[in-house]
Amino acid sequence: MKNFSIIGIAALAMLSISGCPDFSRSAQAQVVDPCEGLPQWGLFVGREPAEEFVARIRAQDDVEAFVQNQPPEGLGIDMDIGELTELVQRIDAEPRTIIDVPEEMLGIAGFSTTLLLKRLLFPNDEPVADQIVYGKIRDYTYVSETKSGHISVDMCIDRREFVPLGEDRREFYHWDIEIPDDQFMVAEREPPSDPSDPATYGNPFPTINFPLPAEAVDPANPASIWRRGLDHKLHAEGREIIVRHVYHRQLSDPNLTRLPDNHHFYTSTDASCIDLFTEGPPPATFGELVDNAYCLGRCEHPGVVNTGG
């Protein structure tokens, strides 16, 4: 069987489109570590790793301008910085609570944006800013005839430091996301004009204009789209993306709980997006994916995405 690969933002255990198991009941039956084995995700702002972006914006004293300016210069969040900082801190402390948030913090786009705000608004030595994200696609379906599908993703948030001995501050999320009919788009990679000239290796998928991380398009990087032979892009974005289920667990608690339907993670926006990259046309099932990677998050410029592979 031909090997297929995916690279990217999430995005984001895959199920059939029609169903989802009762995770809370199964979690009580056997306490396991759902974060075990998840690879670390990179968070990118446009083409920059989030760490480099945050350091640059802070050095230029442009944090407030970036947060409040409208795209593409900023995130477009029309809030006082002090009030926004309090809001982000509350979301971090109460992840299951129903909280009113601005549109830019809704859905999968808002999830990645909130991760960036935690790093932008808080000093590096604050626990809320000191977070690492791990993630993995658990299941996937693509129906080429209807341009629809489904993706399930596990995420884990850990902290590098500031964890008292014997305590587990990790958080686990499981997302089930449905892509309705005619919402998946497929693009073929465009070859460089001169394969011998690295300067001609630009955006491999200009028909779906989204800035990819620099390392993803660098022909000298073994992990890049070019070197891995990833020649097709499966993309969905916008309000038609349906977040069916989000489950959450503090790893200090064995109970996995579905977030209520009116939680802000369920609301997709124009900026919500999923990118999958494959070798050859996108396969139909998860079993046909090998060495997968992905992008999930905010596509609106500036893009803020989680990437894995």
Tell me if 2 is assigned to some domain. Answer: no
pLDDT in tens, 166-198: 557 789 999 999 999 999 999 999 999 998 998
Candidate from 38-42, 135-139, 293-297 with smallest mean pLDDT: 293-297
Whether 82 maps to a domain, the answer reads yes
| pLDDT value at residue 127 | 76
91: in domain: yes
The per-residue pLDDT for 5 is: 37
- Mean pLDDT score across all residues of the chain: 84
121 lies in a domain?
A: yes
Q: What is the mean pLDDT of residues 62-86?
A: 95
In a domain, 9, yes or no: no
Count of structural domains, the chain: 1
53-78 mean pLDDT: 95
Report if residue 13 sits inside a domain.
no
Q: Please state, for a pLDDT cut of 70, what percent of the chain lies above it.
A: 85
Q: Does 39 reside within a domain?
A: yes
Where in the sequence is the domain holding 299, given as residue range(s)? 23-308
Q: How far is CA 256 from CA 28, 31, 97, 170, 262, in A?
A: 8, 10, 15, 13, 18
Structure confidence at residue 7 (pLDDT): 36
CA-CA distance, 34 to 116, in Å (whole number)? Answer: 24
- For the entire predicted model, the pTM comes to 0.84
Assess if residue 11 is contained within a domain. no
